Amino acid sequence: MAVNNVVHVNECGLPLNAIEWLVKHHQSKLQERGQMIRDLRLEEGSFVVDAGCGPGLWTSLLAQEIGLGGNVLGIDISTEALVTAQRRSNHTWYRQQVQYKRATLEQLPIEPGAADMIFSANVSQYLSDPVATFAAMGPFLKSGGRLVIKDIDFGTMKFHGVDPFLQERVFQARLLWEAERVDHGYAYEDSWVGSKLAGYLQAAGYKNVEEKAYRIVRRSPLPRNFRFYLHGIAEWFICEGAPYLSPDDVTNWLQCFTDDTNNVLDQPDFESEETEFVVSGVWDAAKPCFYADMHTGISHREPLFITND
């Protein structure tokens, strides 16, 4: 999954071969993701921007909530992702309501004050200055419009049935890699971003910031898509974390997750647990927000709402 920080190729966690992984990841969490969108209580006829839409996996969920009178604009910096998204929406019932355009989060291709909601899933982890990006997105919202950011947090991930000390060392290695990857020419990444989002939105000038935490648990026997997703995550961790781990840890981790006959993912006591965060804030157009103040007062807080426990 790690790719070089080159803007004209599939950067930011989306090389071509990652599209299949993204699709299976999405399908494996469709139940929770559907709930996340329903919980937003979108009004029928809304105009929603899906910012960093990737292959357009959330489009049908959003379209369902806003109905035939609403519109979704998917934007992304990756042309390959947009082509896939367009292809996926052809021949669907919502195709007339959906458009895809190449753009960045900071410079949306819409008039200021046009969007009822800007939704962005699994993108904030790639933003090197999320507070500045969220502040730049605010003016594209209608007065009272909401920015909704959804993302992962590896700090919440646990695999029951795998040596907890080995897990801890592998996660620490990943954390070390994320701290150093930019110095090695790779794109910025923060896989621990989920629980920080509420602070970022507040610092960017949003009001009524609400955080919902969705706990996702899967037990043995794992659904096929979820097994594919976890297998990918486990390989991804070890590829990037290997330089910070002992050879024994690398071997043991690979044996756990890639072994044909004794794979931990197929053991009856295996359980995977993680929490994903959905944070929303209302853009306060009347309250100018000064960038110098944005980075102060960001702290980790307990979730304001917990669902799906």
Ligand X SMILES: C[S@@+](CC[C@H](N)C(=O)[O-])C[C@H]1O[C@@H](n2cnc3c(N)ncnc32)[C@H](O)[C@@H]1O
Residues in contact with ligand X by the rule CB under 6 A: 12-14, 22, 26, 52-54, 57, 76-78, 81, 104-105, 121-123, 126
Residue 201 C-beta: closest distance to ligand X, Å: 17
Residue 78 C-beta: closest distance to ligand X, Å: 4
Residue 111 C-beta: closest distance to ligand X, Å: 18
Q: Between residues 108 and 294, which has the closer beta carbon with respect to ligand X?
A: 108
Residue 56 C-beta: closest distance to ligand X, Å: 8
Q: Between residues 234 and 256, which has the closer beta carbon with respect to ligand X?
A: 234
Closest by alpha carbon to 116, among 209, 199, 186, 44? 44
Question: Distances in Å between the alpha carbon of 73 and those of 41, 79, 137, 257?
Answer: 18, 15, 14, 38
Q: Between residues 245 and 294, which has the closer beta carbon with respect to ligand X?
A: 294
- For residue 184, what are the contacts with CB-CB under 8 A and spacing of at least 6? none
Cis peptide before 221 (omega within 30 of 0): yes
Task: Identify residue 224 by its one-letter amino acid code.
Answer: R
Q: Between residues 14 and 37, which has the closer beta carbon with respect to ligand X?
A: 14
Closest chain position to ligand X (CB): 54
Distance CA 70, CA 43 (A): 9
Q: Between residues 130 and 145, which has the closer beta carbon with respect to ligand X?
A: 130
Q: Between residues 189 and 249, which has the closer beta carbon with respect to ligand X?
A: 189
Q: What is the DSSP string of 111-168?
A: -TT-EEEEEEES-GGG-SSHHHHHHHHGGGEEEEEEEEEEE--GGG-EEETS-HHHHH
Distance CA 114, CA 261 (A): 55
Q: Between residues 52 and 264, which has the closer beta carbon with respect to ligand X?
A: 52
Residue 189 C-beta: closest distance to ligand X, Å: 10
Residue 160 phi, psi (nearest 5): -80, 130
- How much is the CA Rg of the chain, to the nearest whole Å? 19
Residue 269 C-beta: closest distance to ligand X, Å: 30
Question: Distances in Å between the alpha carbon of 53 and those of 22, 176, 198, 209?
Answer: 11, 28, 21, 22
Distance CA 211, CA 113 (A): 24
Q: Between residues 36 and 203, which has the closer beta carbon with respect to ligand X?
A: 36
Residue 146 C-beta: closest distance to ligand X, Å: 17
Residue 34 C-beta: closest distance to ligand X, Å: 13
Distance CA 293, CA 270 (A): 45
